[in-house]
Chain A
Amino acid sequence: MNPVQQFRLEEKGVRFRNPYFFLRILLLAFFVFTPFMFRSFEVLDVVLKIIIFSALVASYDVILGYTGIVSLGHVLYFGIGCYSVGIFMGNLGWISYGHLALAFLIAIAVSGILSVLIGLFSLRIRAIFFAMVTLAFMEFAFILSSQLRSITGGDDGISFKLPGILAVDYSIGHFLGIELTGRILSYFLILLICMILFLFMLRFVHSPVGRVLQSIRDNEPRSIALGYRTYLFQVIASSFASCVAAVAGACFAIWVRYVSPDSSLSVSIMLDVLLMVIVGGMGTLYGGIFGAAFLMVTRAFLPKLQVLVGSILPGVPMAARLSERWLFYFGLLFIIIVYFFPKGIVGTVQEFFSKRRTS
């Protein structure tokens, strides 16, 4: 019996005694019942973005937290997913389920191939090159998407309609007091897809390949000495995560029914993802959910906070500017978390409990 099988057996034994298991069920229940609990579209929008970004951040965590290489261009694949759906539905106008599925497949294929190519030539020497090259490629894609007007619609982006039950004006009647519109149905579809992605990623990081990735993160020379071609494993991890990110991007496009360079490919989304990973905790996967929830909820409340500051200190331009620049505080928070809680929310909590258990 190899260590992986042993780990699985141990995990199976304590599955129903593990408090985390019930926490997960609770979390899933929360996401499932959100449309029934909150009627306002704003709340639904925030919760759904939390779901999509959890999947995106978790896929980033596979590269960062489990493999230990830094990519600064992960949002590129998210953007490929968005644009794939956008181009099929909006630009080509092929509005059907088959073409939606095809858009997903093409997004996965393109990002998989692209990430393998980028990985092959930039991971070869130093992992740090990977950070720079991916950043450059993302910027390149951003400029390309705003320049190729005929394909991507330029800076204006593409808005599009979705087929059948996902269309906005579709409705199949009432259930538990709410109308099941195309919005609600696409919410559940995306929730389902993201859950599958999440389970898929959990399976991946706990598979033998995932074990090798963690060994590379912890001690690369040693895993080389054990006979693993670490470079190839890093490429595998990065392409796997890219495919997941592409699916997350396609889901995002389905929800907002609109793609533009700023909303799907920009550096600011990459910064958001970095912040979410840091806040949630690297190398935990679940951290992504907390990081995304923290950032999305804060961001939803920020405009109200600005109004508050404006009413307390009227006529002070510096105060208005200071309250406007919320990204500034996020930057400070970023630095503080990296210093004092390098493991993020989930990591710190886990550490706290494991310390208590041993002492």
Chain B
Amino acid sequence: MDSPWKKWFPTLMVFAIFLSPLLLISPKTYITLTISGLAMGMLLFLVASGFSLIFGLLSVLNLAHGALFTWGAYIGFTSFGLINQWTGWGGSESIFLNITIFLLALLTAGLLVALLGVITERLVIRPVYGSHLFQIFITVGAMIVLEELVRIVWGPNDEVMPVPISFMGSYDLFDVVVSKYPLIAIAMGLIIYFVILMILRKTKLGTIVRAGVENPEMVQVMGHNIYRYFTGVFAVGSALAAIGGGMWATFVKSIHPAMGGEVIIFALIVAIIGGLGSITGSVVGALLVGLSYNYVAYLVPKAALGITMLLLVVILSIRPTGLFSEGT
């Protein structure tokens, strides 16, 4: 009876929130805000999807995710600096070289943080699988240690994140100001979303992971070493957090050791709204949060975080498990 309503509810909700500010904001500002909202949403998606996937498969509430995000931002910062010193691509006018160095920095961040994630998972989280209470504690401990390590290695102060030359500035389309970097962020987010979705839907690996989200014991019965997949998903989630961190740092043009803690709150909200363990849910949740945050920040700056909380409360009251179910 109510299945079509349930099926279309999330989509309708997105469109309602998407269009309602037009009543209050002029169309040109609206488009600018929408683009920055979409960019923020995509960056949040990168953080939240890893968090959500890890929770879905491992059922670990990984509070150290924010610290991994910070690590990604800092490694991206350092590797960008090093490559730029070596080749000078970041300062050149060519957009191709700019994108190459940007992707190289993100790749380094992703790979190194994936390694860090594997170490964290093996060393810290694996011994406490199955006990929710101790998992939360242990990830809080890991969060403190990782964040303090950032302070020890890079120092406690803010740093200015270098941005490739052609990423700065904006286009002027029919009097509408469109910044360049948000477009790149949206494109990157969409590409990563579709890659993850294709891997989950079309490959054997993805099938096993989705099955593991549904029922880990059954996957083990079928002869797959589920712990190997746990580590793998943790590594991928960490890499996504790191890429998100690097891109976020380029977005706000500065990095500081506590940045992960601020973003992880958003990621938590996004993951809960979208439904823990669902990639599509993360995208929808992230876009909802990003867009509503930007519109409200323009209209009533002080209520921006309030609207995010309101969204969380409303959605949890209507659909207590989030918009999408696990494994989608």
**Smallest distance from the beta carbon of A124 to chain B beta carbons, Å?**
6
A4-12, A18-26, A50-58, A126-134 - interface stretch:
A126-134
* Count of interface residues, chain B, beta-carbon cutoff 8 Å: 38
Residues of A within 8 A of B306 (CB): 140, 144
A91-99, A203-211, A330-338 - interface stretch:
A330-338
Residues A137 and B316 in contact, CB atoms below 8 Å apart: no
Known: A70-B136, A124-B320, A335-B138. A136 touches B149 (CB 8 A): no
Residues A132 and B320 in contact, CB atoms below 8 Å apart: no
Smallest CB gap from A217: residue in B: B133
Known: A121-B317, A328-B152. A137 touches B309 (CB 8 A): yes
Residues A338 and B305 in contact, CB atoms below 8 Å apart: no
Residues of B within 8 A of A349 (CB): none
B83-91, B108-116, B261-269 - interface stretch:
B261-269
- Which B residues from 134 to 180 make CB contacts under 8 A with A? 134, 136-138, 140-145, 148-149, 151-152, 155
- Which A residues from 192 to 240 make CB contacts under 8 A with B? none
**Smallest distance from the beta carbon of B321 to chain A beta carbons, Å?**
6
**Smallest distance from the beta carbon of A211 to chain B beta carbons, Å?**
20
Q: Check if B272 is an interface residue, CB within 8 A of chain A.
A: yes
Smallest CB gap from A274: residue in B: B140
**Smallest distance from the beta carbon of A218 to chain B beta carbons, Å?**
12
Majority SS of interface residues in chain A?
helix
The distance in angstroms between the C-alpha atoms of A154 and B149, with both chains bound, is: 30
Residues of A within 8 A of B148 (CB): 325, 327-328, 331
Residues B321 and A136 in contact, CB atoms below 8 Å apart: no
Q: Check if B297 is an interface residue, CB within 8 A of chain A.
A: no
Interface string of B122-138 (1 = CB under 8 A from A): 00100110001110111
Residues A128 and B61 in contact, CB atoms below 8 Å apart: yes
The distance in angstroms between the C-alpha atoms of A125 and B61, with both chains bound, is: 16
Interface string of A105-128 (1 = CB under 8 A from B): 000000000000000011011011
Q: Check if B198 is an interface residue, CB within 8 A of chain A.
A: no
The distance in angstroms between the C-alpha atoms of A335 and B265, with both chains bound, is: 22
Q: Check if A163 is an interface residue, CB within 8 A of chain B.
A: no
Q: Check if B302 is an interface residue, CB within 8 A of chain A.
A: yes
Q: Check if A101 is an interface residue, CB within 8 A of chain B.
A: no
Residues of B within 8 A of A68 (CB): 133
Smallest CB gap from B123: residue in A: A335
Residues A143 and B261 in contact, CB atoms below 8 Å apart: no
Residues B265 and A136 in contact, CB atoms below 8 Å apart: yes
Residues of A within 8 A of B61 (CB): 128, 131-132
Residues of A within 8 A of B141 (CB): 331-332, 334-335, 338
Residues A322 and B321 in contact, CB atoms below 8 Å apart: no
**Smallest distance from the beta carbon of B192 to chain A beta carbons, Å?**
24
Most chain A CB within 10 A, of B127, B140, B268, B302, is at B140
Residues of B within 8 A of A121 (CB): 313, 316-317, 320
Known: A68-B133, A339-B127. A129 touches B316 (CB 8 A): yes
Residues B145 and A335 in contact, CB atoms below 8 Å apart: yes
Most chain B CB within 10 A, of A278, A321, A338, is at A338
Residues B320 and A143 in contact, CB atoms below 8 Å apart: no
The distance in angstroms between the C-alpha atoms of A127 and B135, with both chains bound, is: 14
The distance in angstroms between the C-alpha atoms of A331 and B261, with both chains bound, is: 15
Residues A128 and B140 in contact, CB atoms below 8 Å apart: no
Majority SS of interface residues in chain B?
helix
Residues A135 and B316 in contact, CB atoms below 8 Å apart: no
Q: Check if B106 is an interface residue, CB within 8 A of chain A.
A: no
- Which A residues from 297 to 333 make CB contacts under 8 A with B? 318, 321-322, 325, 327-328, 330-332
The distance in angstroms between the C-alpha atoms of A318 and B153, with both chains bound, is: 8
The distance in angstroms between the C-alpha atoms of A110 and B175, with both chains bound, is: 49
Residues B302 and A147 in contact, CB atoms below 8 Å apart: yes
The distance in angstroms between the C-alpha atoms of A325 and B144, with both chains bound, is: 11
Q: Check if B312 is an interface residue, CB within 8 A of chain A.
A: yes
The distance in angstroms between the C-alpha atoms of A122 and B313, with both chains bound, is: 9
Residue in A140, A147, A148, A342 whose beta carbon sits within 8 Å of that of B309 in the complex: A140
**Smallest distance from the beta carbon of B149 to chain A beta carbons, Å?**
7
**Smallest distance from the beta carbon of B133 to chain A beta carbons, Å?**
6
Known: A121-B317, A338-B137. A325 touches B302 (CB 8 A): no
Smallest CB gap from A267: residue in B: B261
Residues B316 and A133 in contact, CB atoms below 8 Å apart: yes
Interface string of A259-276 (1 = CB under 8 A from B): 000000001000100100
**Smallest distance from the beta carbon of A66 to chain B beta carbons, Å?**
13
Residues B268 and A132 in contact, CB atoms below 8 Å apart: yes
Interface string of B293-322 (1 = CB under 8 A from A): 000000000100110010011001100110
Most chain A CB within 10 A, of B138, B143, B265, B316, is at B265
Residue in A128, A136, A139, A330 whose beta carbon sits within 8 Å of that of B132 in the complex: A128
- Which A residues from 32 to 79 make CB contacts under 8 A with B? 64, 68, 70, 72
Residues of B within 8 A of A342 (CB): 134
Residues of B within 8 A of A338 (CB): 128, 134, 137-138, 141
Most chain B CB within 10 A, of A122, A318, A322, A325, is at A325
Residues B151 and A325 in contact, CB atoms below 8 Å apart: yes
Known: A136-B312, A143-B305. A328 touches B149 (CB 8 A): yes
Smallest CB gap from B264: residue in A: A135
**Smallest distance from the beta carbon of A273 to chain B beta carbons, Å?**
11
Known: A321-B152, A342-B134. A328 touches B268 (CB 8 A): no
Known: A70-B132, A271-B144, A321-B155. 19 other contacts (CB 8 A): A72-B63, A127-B132, A129-B320, A132-B268, A133-B272, A133-B312, A133-B316, A135-B268, A136-B268, A136-B269, A144-B305, A318-B152, A325-B151, A325-B152, A328-B148, A328-B149, A328-B151, A331-B145, A338-B128
Interface CB pairs A-B, < 8 A, 9: A121-B313, A125-B320, A132-B271, A274-B140, A328-B148, A331-B141, A331-B148, A334-B140, A335-B145
A binding-site residues for B, Cβ under 8 Å: 64, 68, 70, 72, 121-122, 124-125, 127-129, 131-133, 135-137, 139-140, 143-144, 147-148, 267, 271, 274, 278, 318, 321-322, 325, 327-328, 330-332, 334-335, 338-339, 342
Q: Which are the 7 A-B pairs with shortest beta-carbon distances?
A: A331-B144, A328-B148, A334-B141, A331-B145, A335-B141, A125-B320, A139-B265
